[in-house]
Structure 1
């Protein structure tokens, strides 16, 4: 597995019952079962092609009895009888991720642990977690093959854990560590935001709300990049 999948695997608790949503080749559940970290997983995908790949790889690993393969959108493939306590969703946009989690929530599916890797829209995912009584307990910001990835592990709690605007935007634990990838990512994002702001201000019909949002984000980014503490 690559660095991204290995990091996600490290976030899964030993003995968890896992549903890997958007599993593709099922590399993650296969690795988790092979390592002895978990005994059971569901590999779920919306597309038949990736699911066929997953089924072939699971069969080749001899794990058909421990990994179920299911076709369907989001978490609709999961039943209460599965007793899934950990959901992994990786490699999709944050907006879609939130839609999947919300749909499950509305159907009375709540999971103890979420391991998430949105490839865009990370603040929206963290806001959803806060709004639904999840606490971020692990985060990592990694770089692989020219892309940066934010990985988030959250657990359900009884008392809501509030996050500041900056913590929602950057990640509460990512802010605490600020590894080299943090500076790489946000220096690039600062340049992108500054260019976007110039273009927004050039528009004939100015979107003042969007301009204000980008200005606020630029201020936050500059503050965190300049804060070396």
Structure 2
């Protein structure tokens, strides 16, 4: 089986590298592509493909049947972590949604925070990192991937202690240390955006202070 999504392939590689056990729960599963691929590659022995809506779950069932993985990849209907509260799960992936929604999902089930999580938020990353730091999680790895002209960030987290400053929240504590080519590309683009914004603002505009501070932060991390 092939994964055509570079984003999902990067997350699959992260799971293979940092896997804990052999049973995965994929929350907000994307046609069950990720768990089916991981099973096909021998990374996991079983997975739960979970979604809150009937439509996507039906697509997941089609993928499972097409790849003859019935009984190995189990489709479950439900909101967030609700479907797996009584299941034996080693690790959990939550990908392709906003950071604030991820916070809601994690906050609804504190009893499941002892799992290893693989998170890929489309936005709200600073808020997500702040939540993780405030709820006894530790980011053990993070990286970026470019797919269809969009750069995504993903992270591996588990129970632990970490202290993050404002730059860590914005850029990622590990990403800002790695400073990969994609990291530089993402923040150079954002720097250009911020410079265009400030050029359009008249002197004395209240937004100029925040934009100026953002420009300074980005220039510092890229230096």
TM-score by length of 2: 0.89
> Which residue in the other structure is 1:216 paired with?
213
- Supply the distance in 1 between the matched residues of 2:149 and 2:203 (Cα, whole angstroms): 32
Question: Alpha carbons of 1:203 and 1:104: their partners in 2 closer, same or farther (altered >3 Å)?
Answer: farther
Q: Determine if the alignment matches structure 1 residue 83 to structure 2 residue 84.
A: no
Q: Determine if the alignment matches structure 1 residue 71 to structure 2 residue 90.
A: no
Write out per-residue CA displacement over residues 169-190 of structure 1, whole angstroms, 9 at most, x where no aligned residue. Answer: 1111111221111121111111
- Supply the distance in 1 between the matched residues of 2:47 and 2:114 (Cα, whole angstroms): 14
> Which residue in the other structure is 1:170 paired with?
171
108-117 or 44-53, larger mean C-alpha shift: 108-117
Write out per-residue CA displacement over residues 102-132 of structure 1, whole angstroms, 9 at most, x where no aligned residue. Answer: 1222xx3324211011111111111111111
After superposition, the CA RMSD in angstroms is 2.1
Q: Summarize the alignment of residues 106-185 of structure 1 with structure 2, pairs less than 5 Å apart.
A: 108-157=111-160, 160-185=161-186
Q: Determine if the alignment matches structure 1 residue 8 to structure 2 residue 11.
A: yes
Q: Give SS of 1:69's match.
A: strand
Aligned residues: 217
Post-superposition shift, 1:63?
1.4
- Supply the distance in 2 between the matched residues of 1:193 and 1:182 (Cα, whole angstroms): 17
Question: Alpha carbons of 1:186 and 1:17: their partners in 2 closer, same or farther (altered >3 Å)?
Answer: same
Write out per-residue CA displacement over residues 162-216 of structure 1, whole angstroms, 9 at most, x where no aligned residue. Answer: 12211111111111221111121111111222344456x5599x6x5x6544433
Post-superposition shift, 1:77?
1.6
Q: Give SS of 1:77's match.
A: helix
Structure 2 regions of 5+ residues with no counterpart? none
- Contact 1:116-1:152 within 8 A present in 2 as well: yes
Q: Summarize the alignment of residues 180-199 of structure 1 with structure 2, pairs less than 5 Å apart.
A: 180-197=181-198
> Which residue in the other structure is 1:94 paired with?
99
Q: Give SS of 1:172's match.
A: coil
- Contact 1:138-1:173 within 8 A present in 2 as well: yes
Write out per-residue CA displacement over residues 46-72 of structure 1, whole angstroms, 9 at most, x where no aligned residue. Answer: 221111110011112121211111112
Write out per-residue CA displacement over residues 10-43 of structure 1, whole angstroms, 9 at most, x where no aligned residue. Answer: 2220533211111021011001111111111110
Q: Give SS of 2:162's match.
A: coil
- Supply the distance in 2 between the matched residues of 1:203 and 1:27 (Cα, whole angstroms): 51
- Contact 2:28-2:95 within 8 A present in 1 as well: yes
190-199 or 58-67, larger mean C-alpha shift: 190-199
Structure 1 regions of 5+ residues with no counterpart? none
TM-score by length of 1: 0.86
